[in-house]
Structure 1
Amino acid sequence: MISHAFVRLIKNHYQDLEISRVLTRRKLDTLSSFPLANALTNSLDDLVENSDIIVECSGNVFHGTEVIEHAFEANLPVVTVNAELQVTTGSYLASKGFMTEAEGDQPGSLAALHEDALQMGFKPLVFGNMKGFLNLDPSPEDMAYWAKRQGLSIDQTTSFTDGTKVQIEQVIVGNGLGATITRQGLEGLASTNLNDSASILGMMADRMGQPIVDYVMPSGYPAGGVFIVCRHDEEQAPAIEYFKLGPGPYYVLTRPFHLCSLEVGKTVRRVLAGGDILLNNSTSPTLGVAAIAKKPMKAGTMIDRGIGGFQFRGEAVKLTDNFNYVPIGLLSKSILKRAVEPGQLITFDDVDLLPSRALDIVIQQRDAFFGSVPTFSWNPQALRHAVAS
């Protein structure tokens, strides 16, 4: 969906830009309906050789990591619409080349609102997301129904519904903008009044002495936007109240929309004009997204996918408290080494992971941050057994 809409946007409304290549892993003869079919390629080399900037929007951690590393080898800047990648391998990649998340999805929208807030003299305390619905353990049948109705994949719909996506989004914001979390999994306040909920979160941030990331569940007002809770100079309070932001001390700046692919072009132009990074996972992250079991599972259970699957959901965690956690973005075609219970946080001791460049990067990051590498093993016999069964 992102690539189709972005290509249409550039083709129809950006006369100064051209889509030269679109990398796909699908067979080219099955994509005749793509809005710019003659630009399609299966060759990563072809993509890089014919591009000045790469927009990575696959939503896939493993594929996206390989694409970005290849782009950096050619000294190309990269704009991502892939928060899943950012919170998994993004900090390593950010140290190797120019990479920024795009405006349009919630993290980029919050980063843009943050820039506006700073220019107006506000001091951000809370970076907030507004989420309309949450079901921590949705059924496959419900997800298939809603995926078809919304024109999305089942895994996308599931990651939105079980909260994994909002956890991922808020972690990249926290790492990129220097904020933390009040607790594992965030607060997720039920909210009938944004100003009241924002003030509660603002007080939490004040008590912690550091900005925080979180989200609210609106009832009675629209969801889907982002907000920042701020303070300002006391002498500005009369003017700010006159400007209809209330008496303070907590002021709420809102952006009631995020238009995904329709806004990515703004970040592309920013980069091509020599602008700096809007947002990435930083080279020194403090937060990650762990995998939490949704149900009891036996040793030997095959894990098809972490993000958007029916076995796990993601929760924001502090890295210092969870040295050995497995980033949920790494869980793909893996095998449980031992039984797990609902609500259990998955560690490297619990699972056999497929070898991948993304896994290598995560381990390298752990070694750099903590000085030692988690102990885990790869058992291909276990994987073959699970696939056969």
Structure 2
Amino acid sequence: MTHSVKIGVSGTGFIAKGLISLLASTDDMKVVSILTRRPIETVEGIQGRQALTNDTDTFLKNVDLVVECSGDVIHGSEVIDQAFKMNLPVVTMNSELQVTTGSYFAKRGFITEAEGDQPGCLAALHENALSMGFKPLVYGNIKGFMNLNPSLEDMTYWSKAKGISLPMVTSFTDGTKVQIEQALVANGLHAGILADGLTGETVENIEIGGQSLAEKTEHNGKPISDFVVCRQGPPGVFITARHDGNQKEALSYLKLGEGPYYTLSTSFHLCHLEIIKTIRRVVDGKGILLNNTAHPSVSVKAVAKRDLTAGETISQGIGSFVVRGEACSIEDNPDHLPIGLLSQAVIEKPVKAGETLTFSNVSIPGSFALNAWNDIIKDTRPVFS
């Protein structure tokens, strides 16, 4: 490498701040531009303040690679569109964007999710497993706790206690985040799902959960993406797989059990600390780690947490107290409204608690993200505007 790679970071939240701080100590990479939608004078706790800008054109000038980690589907899609017009590669830590508009971009340029969050960590574990001869059956995410309809009071407490935004902690708790992550994994690793909303079995340990899911998968015809709720489990990911029979004794000796199912796990995901590995992967020409592919089969629909009445406005879908996300088959849910597109949406017809929001009962403002979604699924359902 003959020069420091010039990095542009889109976002100034927890992930962006951590990545910018980490890159400040590297010799082969340099953050030269930081895009924020906040008034620049209000951005706190970030290194390299001189690189801050509110202007996308300024942000993209003189960068070699963009890291999109704003956590926002609508805004992030517009940023990536501009980056692609300049032939810039894009690394994301934005699974919400990937499952909503990522397939549009996968057909048009270089976009990859990074290691750090569970999807990227599963993709890395997948590569490792394949290299050792394992045949994955289950791509698993591990959650310690879930409450499908948490209270504002509880989420406000935990938001302050953990130092993360209220929508973020809410999407973690109500399962929306894990549904989004596993939808991305299903598409990116060419797996399926057993049911809308996944199974989310509560288990004593991940080996038990992995075996249970693997047994169900054998009748499915291809690997599945899912998650388990395991209070004592590590904050990581796992793959449950088969291996050739001639390795049975060796795998038993190596403490992986008697088979036929073997569970490999990564006991951590270190968010921004791991993004740097994917940046180096891209710079070194090693290709895409994971994206939503050009032809996804799984999306994440919005499901009402309570009865919704005509005329109500939903300012934000992901991390809200009125809807949550559920992974779903696109083919079986042709009219579903992806939760990532829910922004300033207006309820046109009443929706009962537990029902799926659709383009027929909700209207949303026009946006680049909406146009990208219509392009993705134009061959499977009518276009909505």
Query: Which band: TM-score by shorter chain?
Result: over 0.9
Residues 316-335 of structure 1: per-residue CA shift (max 9 Å, x gap): 10011000100000111110
Relative to 1, partners in 2 of residues 1:144 and 1:18: Cα closer, same or farther, differing over 3 Å? same
- Contact 1:324/1:374, CA 8 A, preserved across alignment: no
| C-alpha distance after superposition, 1:92-117 (max 9, x if no partner) | 11111000000010000000000000
Secondary structure of 1:284's aligned partner: coil
**2:228 paired with 1:240:** no
Q: Is 1:153–2:165 an aligned residue pair?
A: yes
Q: CA deviation at 1:375?
A: 4.8
Whether the 8 Å CA contact 1:348–1:374 is kept in 2: the answer is: no
Aligned residue in 2 for 1:60: 72
**What letter corresponds to residue 36 of structure 1 in structure 2?**
G
* Correspondence for 1:6 among 15, 19, 24: 19
Partner-residue secondary structure (3-state), 2:103? helix
Equivalent position amino acid for 2:199 in 1:
E
Report what 2:7 is aligned to. none
Contact 2:175 2:324 in 1 (8 A): yes
Deviates more, 1:24-33 or 1:279-288: 24-33
Cα displacement (A) at 1:31: 2.5
After the TM superposition, which residues 1-389 of structure 1 pair with which residues of structure 2 at under 5 Å, given as runs?
A: 1-12=14-25, 14-31=26-43, 33-219=45-231, 221-367=232-378, 369-370=379-380, 372-375=381-384
Amino acid of the residue matched to residue 94 of structure 1?
Answer: A
Gaps of 5+ in 1: 377-389
Across the two proteins, how many residue pairs are aligned to each other? Answer: 372
Q: 1:329 to 1:32 in 2, by over 3 A?
A: closer
> Which amino acid counterpart does residue 303 of structure 1 have in structure 2?
I
Q: Secondary structure at the match of 2:31?
A: coil
Letter in 1 for 2:306: K
Pairwise CA distance, 1:223:
3.3
- Residues in 2 aligned to 1:150 and 1:264: alpha-carbon distance in whole angstroms: 21
Could you tell me whether the CA contact under 8 Å between 1:289 and 1:316 is conserved in 2? yes
Q: Partners in 2 of 1:2 and 1:244 — Cα distance?
A: 36
Whole-angstrom distance in 2 between the partners of 1:353 and 1:33? 34
One-letter identity of the residue aligned with 2:63: S
CA distance in 2, matches of 1:133, 1:50: 44
Describe the SS at the equivalent of 2:344.
Answer: strand
TM-score by length of 2: 0.95
Find the aligned partners of 2:384 and 2:109 in 1 and give their Cα distance. 29
How many angstroms apart in 2 are the aligned matches of 1:236 and 1:47? 52
CA positional deviation for 1:32: 5.5
1:15-56 CA distances to partner (integer Å, 9 max, x unpaired)? 111001011111122236421111111121122112000000
Letter in 1 for 2:113: E
Deviation at 1:374, TM superposition (A): 4.1
**Deviation string for 1:50-104 (max 9, x for gaps)?**
2000000000001100110111111110000000000000001111100000001
Task: Answer whether contact 1:103 1:264 (CA < 8 A) is retained.
Answer: yes
Q: CA deviation at 1:236?
A: 0.8
Q: Is the contact made by 2:73 and 2:369 (CA closer than 8 Å) also made in structure 1?
A: yes
Contact 2:143–2:233, Cα closer than 8 Å, also in 1: no
Identity %: 49
Q: Which has the higher helix share?
A: 1
RMSD: 1.0
Describe the superposition over 1:273-304 as per-residue Cα deviations: whole angstroms up to 9, x where unpaired. Answer: 11110000010100000000000111111111
Indicate the SS of the match to 1:207: coil
**Cα distance between partner residues in 1 of 2:86 and 2:54:** 18
Deviation of 1:222 after TM superposition, in Å, equals 2.8
Partner Cα separation in structure 2 for residue 233 and residue 156 of structure 1: 42
Amino acid at match of 1:237: K
User: Amino acid of the residue matched to residue 326 of structure 1?
Assistant: L
Q: Which residue of 2 aligns with 1:379?
A: none
1: distance between equivalents of 2:212 and 2:323? 30
CA contact (8 A) 1:59 1:82 kept: yes
Q: Which runs of 4+ in 1 moved over 4 A?
A: none
Q: TM-score, length-normalised on structure 1?
A: 0.94
CA contact (8 A) 1:104 1:261 kept: yes
